[in-house]
Amino acid sequence: NAGVTQTPKFRILKIGQSMTLQCAQDMNHNYMYWYRQDPGMGLKLIYYSVGAGITDKGEVPNGYNVSRSTTEDFPLRLELAAPSQTSVYFCASSYKPGSGETQYFGPGTRLLVL
């Protein structure tokens, strides 16, 4: 199993550009999550999904959109990039909720908005 994969690893965007961060998992997990981590900070939840076709906002959703058309994929869309979106983005997945089941994380995408 590849686990959770993310592409690209690193990207530089100009202000106002848009892009999609890709995330895929091959563990047949229903639950998927997007986090961002700013320097010296913990991970903040952007969006999450409890299954194909179902998504919901996390703590910091503004400026982002998501979709979940399949169990495996959970892309994160930035429509109008702003310098405040410079961060490292992590995708994660888990099997079942609320049981203490751990989340499995991808390697991250480092995004720089200039």
Partner 1 sequence: DQQVKQNSPSLSVQEGRISILNCDYTNSMFDYFLWYKKYPAEGPTFLISISSIKDKNEDGRFTVFLNKSAKHLSLHIVPSQPGDSAVYFCAAGYTGTASKLTFGTGTRLQVTL
Q: With binding defined as CB under 8 A, does residue 99 bind partner 1?
A: yes
Q: With binding defined as CB under 8 A, does residue 102 bind partner 1?
A: yes
Interface characters, 2-41, with partner 1 (x: CB under 8 A):
--x--------------------------x-x-x----xx
- Residue 91 burial by CB count (10 A; 0-12/13-18/19+): exposed, middle or buried? buried
Q: Which residue has the tokens 């609320």?
A: 98
Q: In the bound complex, what is the minimum distance in angstroms from residue 94's beta carbon to partner 1? A: 5
Q: Nearest to residue 89, comparing CAs of 1, 2, 8?
A: 8
Q: In the bound complex, what is the minimum distance in angstroms from residue 28's beta carbon to partner 1? A: 15
Q: Nearest to residue 53, comparing CAs of 36, 84, 74?
A: 74
Q: With binding defined as CB under 8 A, does residue 81 bind partner 1?
A: no
Exactly one of 15, 26, 69, 101 binds partner 1 (CB under 8 A); that residue is 101
Q: Pairing relation of β-strands 76-78 and 19-25?
A: antiparallel
Distance of CA 86 to the CA centre of its chain: 14
Residues engaged in binding partner 1 (CB under 8 A): 4, 31, 33, 35, 40-45, 48, 50, 56, 58, 90, 92, 94, 96-108
